Structure formats: C-alpha cells, structure tokens
C-alpha cells in the first residue's frame, strides 16, 4: 500500500502538470496564426509591404484582437494600412482596440486619432468617451496637449460654453500669448462664439479681432454664417464692419471680384480696432492680385501699410510691392522690398524680400542684376534660397553669350562661402577663359579648386579633367556626419512606421524629431532600409545624419547611396544594347530610386520611368508583346534600348540624357539657340533647370558608381569619358 501511495501522488502531479502545460501550450499554438495566416508568413508579407492578404480576410470570422499578439503597436499601424486600402470601419476598430488594450505610446496616439476621426464624423459623445478617461488617467502623456485641444473642440460643438471658456483660458496660458491667435486661429473662433452664446460683455470685440487680425480663410466663413444665423447678433456691429465680414466670407468662397469693393468700403472708414493692429491691408492686396486691380490699389495698400506697425506693416508692404511689380512698376516695388529687407527683424520676411528684389532685378536686365548682387550678396544668410533664380539667370547669360556679365558675377561670388552658385559661375568662367571666349583674364587654379567645392563634386570633377585643377578625393575617410551633435535615439513609435512599410510617415516624424536624432542611429536605419530595398528612404534618412551638405560621403555611406539593385537585369540590358552599365545604373537611380512599381504624376512607369506610349513604341521595335513596365527585366530592356537610340542619334552622353529627360524634339531647338558649345557648357546653357540638374546628377552618379565598383576608375578620367 505504501508503494502504491508512493506512486499514486506523482502520477496525479504528472497529470496536473500535463494539463497545465496543455493550457499554456494551446494559446501559444493559437498565436502561431493571426487572422488565419501563419505568423512567419504574415511577417514576411508586412516586411515586403505586400498587404494584398487583407483583401482575403473576413474580419467577421476572425477575432480582431489577434493582431495584438503580433507586436506592440501592430493594431495601430495596420489601421493605417486598412484605412488607405478602403477598410475604414475595420481601421476604426483597430484604433479602438489599440486605445483600449494596447500599450503606450501607440495607445495614446490611437486615442488622439480616434477622437479626431469622431469629431469629423460629428460623433462628439464618442470623442468625449476617449478624451475624459485619457485626461483622468494619462495626464502626463507626451501628447496630452493634443488631447486638451481636441477637448476644446468637443466642448465647442456640444455648446458647453462655460466649460469651454474656462478650459480655453487655461489652455492659452500654456501657449505663447503673443502668437497663439496666428498659430491656432480656430481657438479665437471658439472664444468668440462661446462668448456670444453666453452673451458676455463686449463679445463683439472678439469677432472684430478674428476678422481684423487673422488672414482670410474658411474660419471667416464659419464666423460670418454663425452671426448671420441670428440677425440680432449683427446688431452690435457698424455697417462698414459687416461689409468687412461679408468680404472675408466671400474671399473664403473664392469670390474675389465681389469681395473687393466691400472690403475697400469697410477699410476706408475708421474701424473700432486700430488699423495698425490689423491684417486687412494684406487681405485687400490678395483680392487685388486675384482681380488684377493693380497700380491704383497698390498705392492704397501702401498707404494702409504705413498706418500699421510691427509685422503687420511689413506684410502689408510686401503685398503693396507685389502689386507694384505685377503692374511693372519695378522701381517702387524694389524700394519697398529694400525697406522691408533693411527694417524687418523677421528672417523669413527679410529673405523673401531679398528674393523678390533679385527676381525683379533680373526682369530689368544685366545692369540691374549686377548692381543688386554687388550690394546684397554680402548680406545673404542662405545662398541656397536664391540658387534657382541665379542658376537660371547664369544659364540665360551663357545662351546669350554675355561673357562680360558672367565674369562680373564671378567676381561678386568668388569670395563667398561654399555654395552651388559659386561653383557653377566659377567653373563656367574658368572654362570660357580656357576656350578663349573670355579674353585677357586668368584665374588662380589653386583658388579655383576651392571655389568649385560642392557636396557632390560635379564641378571639381569637370575642372580636374578640363582645366587641370588639383583633383579632389571623391570619398571621405570618415562618415560625413562627423561633427553632428544630435543625441536623441529613434523612438519605437517612429521605428514602427518603417517596420510596417509606412515609410513616408516614418520619415516625416524623423525629420521633425525633437531632440534631433543621433547620426549612428540614422545610419543604421539607412542600412536596414537599403537591405529591404527601400533605397530612396535609405538615402533620405542618411541625409538627416549628415552634419553639412558640403562634407563628402564616406565609402560606407556611398554604398548606401549608390546601390547595385536589380544588378542582373540592369547589367544584361546595358550589355545587350551596348550602353555604359554604370551610366544606366545612375539614370535608373535618378528616375525611380530602383522602385519597379513607381508611377509618376505624368504616368511614367517603373525603373526607367518611361511613358506607356513611348514604351509601347519601343516594344514594337523589339518585337515584344504584352509589356509589363513594372517588370524589372522588361522595363530595363526597353529603357536601355531607348537610351541607346538617343546616344546613337545624338552622339553625346549629356545631350542624350537631356533628351531622355525633356524629349528629343527640344534638343534640336536648344542646339540652334545655344550654338556649338562643348558638352559641359551646353549642359549649363540648357533652358530648363530640372533638365540641367538631371544631366549633372546622372553624370556625377555614374562616376561614383564606377569608382565604387571598379577599382581601376580614375574619377577625373571617368567624367571626361562621359563628356567627350
């Protein structure tokens, strides 16, 4: 009996242990499948960005909560994907699931997005059911300010005006008191409406502030309709004030012709709020530009501007200057731009004024440009802000063969900080001197090498070949973000967007992150994105890590920036049609960043971004039926044939690239206009900025590709092969 007892107890324990193990193991078995799909298969499809499996799921059949077992935040990210795929109801259920059963930070963000969604759908009680528990239990969450802002909107629509005003005042205390009306003018509408409904003393003044201080928008349409709903509400306003209200309502509706006389009529009579505190002159300028009412109204807007103070004065002067310029009264426009540039403390306004001064100087001719540049360039803070204007202008001088003006611009820029315009004008002038177009001038080659310095090295490469300047090392010994002092890590919430192939959302969060992200973390993410075939985002993320655009890439960075994606397909196509393999890689990198599924706004498809009509024409010549431009092999073959044909006809790599970008017909026209410049200067004289940059980019990238993957490459010789 003792023996039987001895064995009996362990058997019971074994049975119990097996039962418990089964209970533990059974849920684990269940978790191996999510919505009827094996976890491993689901993970593979998500990492590929292939969400077609969602179309085959009956969400009524499966427990939607299974997604919580996949990874933290999965319900949140999949809700994005479902919303974009047209499954709005299921997306809402997943957001609700994340809010109710998820974990921070996804839980908090789901609450924000759900509440915003409910407000748009006028489901204010549902929104309230999220906001109240959030504030009660998660008041220290990082996005609590957004929840408080949502709460104000709920109270506004529910007409809980007393509570709204109390909480609005507290909310405003946490904001910048001087700028909150401009950053979030809807709050001013909330305050005005709530005070009116409660019949607070002087509620009319808040509406006046809304209409006088905030630039015309749909807020004014909402405010005007509210006042109009009960005509007694308009009784406290003068007739001219109602004219202003009507005018800004009409502006919001796009009815500028009708709005103009009403707005002017309201402005010329003394308003209850002082004109110097208003934005009405700016509003009136907008109306005049839209209705082509220019010279006389420019003088009127300028008069109004001079009655204003602070930023309102400069904004109004800016509008007057635009009206003068539109009427071709450039002298007065320039005087106003100069006034703004010299007096404003607003960096953006100052830069904008300087940009317009340059633009209108260009309209007046070379003499005005040279005078303006000599006076203003020393005061510029960001040369890139003006680069588009100047690159186009320099190109136009080259087409016009105005070598004197080109040389004068060089003298103005030669001692500025490194920038693209300095490099462009320095190379063009040095090359013109070497070819005898500019006579009696010489440049110091050692200084020239410094002046040509840019982030990609395009002009340094050309100069080393054509002008015998000292060659610059193409790559740096250390990563280009050396000196980047950022210290933040990439948070798991942001990384989740990349894990679920929501790359644009993830990149947007990265680029606005506070504190800024440390470089090593960004570099590792860029490597991961490259490994997943997301080359465009790998390049963009790497760009965030670089401490300055003027620092060269290291080899490990360059291998991310210049990958050999679809190596077999692209190499075979290049070989078949006898085109430079690395040139073809460079072209595809520029056109599609190796995304075989990409479709441009114009309708160009796939790796080489050919238009379907062009591709079909090439396919007929190749005897290919049923083409699929998203197929890498077919697209590469058709693109290679098209490029090879352009090279055969034009007998020039840069001109063939220009034709690839802008169309062969334009090349004939440009050749007649430009004349017989060598290819490097021909590219500078191309009238279209986008095409100029395309050719330069592809040629530079071809050099990098050769240098990275062919150890025999000498960069200066390689660029020469492309341009000779």
The whole-angstrom separation of Cα 593 and Cα 523 is 18
Given the structure tokens 């075989």, which residue do they identify? 596
Whether the Cβ atoms of residue 632 and residue 566 lie closer than 8 Å to each other: yes
Who contacts 187 (Cβ-Cβ below 8 Å, separation ≥6)? 152, 168, 171, 172, 180, 181
Chain-centroid distance of CA 570 in Å reads 30
Say whether the peptide bond before residue 105 is cis (omega within 30 degrees of 0).
Answer: yes
Given the structure tokens 């010299």, which residue do they identify? 342
3-state secondary structure at position 476 = strand
The whole-angstrom separation of Cα 365 and Cα 424 is 20
The whole-angstrom separation of Cα 660 and Cα 695 is 9
> Which ranges of 160-279 would DSSP assign to H, the alpha helix?
161-173, 180-183, 186-197, 203-213, 218-229, 239-252, 256-267
State the pairing for strand pair 33-34/37-38. antiparallel
Active site residue 591: yes
Residue tagged active-site, from 568, 591, 616, 711: 591
Say whether the peptide bond before residue 515 is cis (omega within 30 degrees of 0).
Answer: yes
Given the structure tokens 């974990």, which residue do they identify? 103
- DSSP letters along 190-206, please? HHHHHHHHTT-TTHHHH
The whole-angstrom separation of Cα 396 and Cα 401 is 9
Chain-centroid distance of CA 274 in Å reads 39
Residue 554 gets which letter from DSSP?
B
Q: Which of 660, 663, 680 is nearest to 721 (CA)?
A: 680
Q: Which of 173, 193, 126 is nearest to 154 (CA)?
A: 126
Residues with catalytic function: 591
């Amino acid at each position: 009996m003792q023996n039987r007892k001895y064995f009996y107890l362990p058997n019971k324990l074994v049975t119990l242990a097996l039962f418990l193990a089964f209970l533990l193991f059974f849920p684990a078995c269940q978790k191996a499948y999510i919505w009827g799909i094996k976890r491993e298969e689901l993970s593979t499809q998500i990492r590929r960005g292939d969400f077609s499996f969602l179309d085959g799921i009956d969400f009524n059949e499966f427990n939607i909560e299974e997604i919580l077992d996949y990874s933290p935040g999965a319900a949140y990210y999949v809700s994005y994907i479902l919303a974009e795929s047209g499954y709005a109801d299921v997306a809402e259920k997943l957001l609700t699931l994340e809010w109710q059963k998820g974990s921070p930070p996804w839980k908090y963000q789901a609450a924000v997005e759900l509440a915003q969604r409910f407000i748009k759908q006028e489901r204010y009680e549902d929104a309230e059911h999220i906001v109240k528990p959030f504030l009660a239990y998660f008041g220290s969450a990082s996005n609590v300010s957004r929840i408080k802002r949502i709460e104000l909107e709920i109270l506004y629509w529910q007409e809980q005006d007393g509570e709204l005003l109390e909480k609005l005042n507290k909310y405003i205390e946490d904001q910048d008191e001087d700028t909150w009306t401009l950053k979030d003018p809807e709050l001013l509408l909330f305050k005005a409406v709530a005070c009116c409904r409660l019949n607070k003393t002087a509620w009319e003044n808040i509406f006046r502030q809304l209409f006088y201080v905030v630039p015309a928008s749909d807020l004014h349409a909402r405010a005007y309709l509210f006042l109009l709903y009960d005509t007694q509400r308009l009784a406290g306003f003068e007739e001219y004030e109602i004219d202003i209200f009507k005018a800004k309502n009409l502006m919001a509706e796009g009815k500028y012709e009708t709005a103009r006389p009403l707005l002017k009529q309201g402005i010329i009579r003394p308003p209850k709020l002082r004109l110097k505190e208003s934005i009405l002159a700016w509003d009136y300028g907008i109306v005049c530009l839209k209705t082509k009412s220019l010279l006389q109204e420019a003088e009127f807007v300028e008069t109004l501007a001079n009655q204003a103070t602070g930023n309102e004065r400069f904004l109004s002067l800016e509008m007057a200057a635009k009206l003068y310029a539109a009427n071709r009264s450039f002298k007065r426009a320039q005087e106003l731009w100069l006034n703004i540039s010299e007096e404003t403390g607003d960096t953006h306004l100052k830069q904008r004024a300087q940009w317009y001064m340059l633009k209108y100087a260009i309209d007046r001719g070379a003499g005005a440009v040279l005078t303006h540049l000599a006076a203003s360039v020393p005061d510029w803070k960001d040369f890139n802000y003006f680069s588009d204007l100047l690159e186009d202008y320099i190109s136009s001088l080259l087409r016009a063969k105005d070598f004197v003006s080109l040389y004068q611009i060089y003298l103005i820029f030669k001692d500025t900080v490194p920038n693209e315009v300095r490099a462009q004008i320095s190379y063009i002038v040095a090359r013109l001197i070497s070819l005898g177009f500019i006579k009696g001038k010489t440049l110091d080659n050692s200084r020239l090498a410094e002046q040509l310095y840019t982030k990609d090295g395009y002009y340094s490469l050309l100069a080393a070949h054509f002008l015998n300047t000292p060659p610059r090392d193409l790559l740096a010994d250390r990563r280009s973000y050396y000196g980047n002092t950022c210290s933040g890590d990439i948070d798991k919430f942001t990384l989740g967007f990349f894990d679920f192939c929501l790359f644009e959302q993830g990149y947007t969060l990265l680029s606005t992150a506070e504190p800024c992200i440390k470089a090593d973390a960004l570099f590792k993410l860029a490597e991961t994105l490259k490994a997943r075939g997301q080359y465009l985002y790998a390049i963009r993320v790497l760009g965030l890590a670089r401490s300055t655009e003027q620092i060269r890439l290291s080899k490990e960075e360059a291998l991310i920036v210049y990958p050999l994606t679809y190596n077999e397909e692209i190499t075979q196509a290049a070989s078949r049609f006898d085109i430079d393999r690395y040139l073809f890689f460079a072209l595809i990198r520029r056109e599609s960043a190796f995304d075989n599924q990409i479709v441009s706004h114009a309708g160009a498809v796939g790796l080489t971004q050919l238009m379907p009509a062009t591709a079909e024409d090439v396919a007929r010549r190749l005897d290919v039926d049923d083409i699929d431009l998203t197929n890498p092999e077919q697209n590469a073959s058709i693109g290679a044939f098209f490029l090879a044909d352009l090279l055969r006809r034009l007998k020039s790599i840069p001109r063939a690239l220009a034709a690839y970008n802008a169309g062969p017909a334009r090349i004939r026209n440009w050749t007649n206009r430009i004349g017989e410049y060598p290819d490097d200067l021909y590219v500078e004289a191309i009238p279209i900025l986008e095409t100029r940059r395309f050719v330069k980019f592809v040629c530079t990238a071809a050099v990098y590709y050769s240098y990275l993957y062919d150890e025999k490459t000498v960069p200066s010789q390689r660029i020469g092969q492309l341009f000779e």
